[in-house]
Homo-oligomer: A and B are copies of this chain.
């Protein structure tokens, strides 16, 4: 294939992948809008919209340059490459914002979005996929992470952990005697729709990260990547369903979907390196980790309405380490990446959130939280005509 044909085909392929990732914007928005209580639905949707706008803008104007240096690309249009990378950045903050929903204020989180997307995340990308300014230092990383089990998902998860530690749990979530009060999701069809839009977006996320489809080997690698991505999600859903049935005799759909997402996060580090059966194991463990991690975080009173710590942080770590177990990549290289990026992401997010919190409190006031963020933050109720059952 001549070089121009390859350039065109790769551009088309990456634009296709980009569009799939953008489906994750309504994906996250619907998932979170379905999980929170009706009084906080508009706030969650507004937050997701602001994240898409500010994260993309921050990355476009500053972040891309920090991550990759000069904008250049040989094998596809540089604009397509920029779009593809830009599509990633919002996800990091989506992961974080979902886990602090029902009490986080939109404006301060928007400031965090801007800093994360224009500085913090771009530094992580520089370190791993990008210009690599720490090359040949003690911090040089050899971690393999195709599409971001660590770079995207753990980073978002660490930022979330920092945010939860600063902001605390929702009022009434944990009782004084150590109990956990169940706060049911308000709209299960939206949760399901959102989860499947995310799943579909993942095909673009991972498939596009291969970066070159314009050769027989490239085409095989992209197709294998999408196949393995899907398989791991399937395995995660199945094991989560099975465990719920064993434990409670009920098929809790939110846990099944989170199991699938856990499998998808876990495979993301190396869907191109596994054979077609290994993702069964990666996803099975990923789905099981979600089921077991959710109550553990609650035990530590880390209140995360959407289960993002279990899905993204735990499985981001698991998925990155799995590459060191199942492939020829070195386990220690994977571990080093997990730890170093984890420390950087957690400490820097904590520091930035801490400072923002001093200037503009991250958390809504008690009475605002009781009344719901929709009225107080947005002035718009999500379902004004539907009478509340309680």
Stretch at the interface among A153-161, A222-230, A299-307, A349-357: A222-230
Query: B192–A29 contact, CB under 8 A?
Result: yes
Copies of this protein in the complex: 3
- Determine the distance from Cα of A15 to Cα of B13 in the docked complex, in whole angstroms: 10
Query: A238–B188 contact, CB under 8 A?
Result: no
Contacts A15-B222, A45-B192, A106-B251 aside, 5 further interface pairs with beta carbons under 8 A come to A26-B196, A49-B253, A53-B234, A80-B226, A193-B193
A296 near B: Cβ within 8 Å? Answer: no
- Return chain B residues, CB-CB under 8 Å to A235: 57
Assuming the contacts A8-B218, A53-B241, A83-B230, asked whether A379 and B200 have C-beta atoms less than 8 A apart, the reply is no
A11 near B: Cβ within 8 Å? Answer: yes
CB interface residues, A 203-254, toward B, < 8 Å: 203, 207, 213-216, 218-220, 222-224, 226-227, 230-231, 234-235, 237-238, 241, 245, 248, 250-254
- Determine the distance from Cα of A193 to Cα of B196 in the docked complex, in whole angstroms: 14
Measured as residues with beta carbon below 8 angstroms from the partner, the interface class of chain A is: 35 or more
- Contact mask for chain A residues 54-88; partner B; CB cutoff 8 A; 1 contact, 0 none: 10110010000000000000001111101100000
Stretch at the interface among A30-38, A164-172, A308-316, A361-369: A30-38
- Return chain B residues, CB-CB under 8 Å to A348: none
Q: Can you list 21 A-B contacts (CB < 8 A)? A: A8-B9, A8-B213, A8-B215, A12-B12, A12-B219, A19-B20, A19-B200, A22-B203, A29-B193, A30-B189, A30-B193, A42-B253, A49-B192, A53-B238, A79-B226, A83-B226, A106-B251, A107-B245, A189-B190, A253-B380, A385-B388
- Determine the distance from Cα of A77 to Cα of B4 in the docked complex, in whole angstroms: 21
- Return chain B residues, CB-CB under 8 Å to A57: 231, 234-235, 238
Query: A46–B238 contact, CB under 8 A?
Result: no
Query: B384–A389 contact, CB under 8 A?
Result: yes
Assuming the contacts A238-B53, A253-B42, asked whether A385 and B37 have C-beta atoms less than 8 A apart, the reply is yes
8 nearest A-B residue pairs (beta carbon):
A250-B379, A79-B223, A11-B219, A77-B223, A80-B223, A26-B196, A188-B382, A387-B389
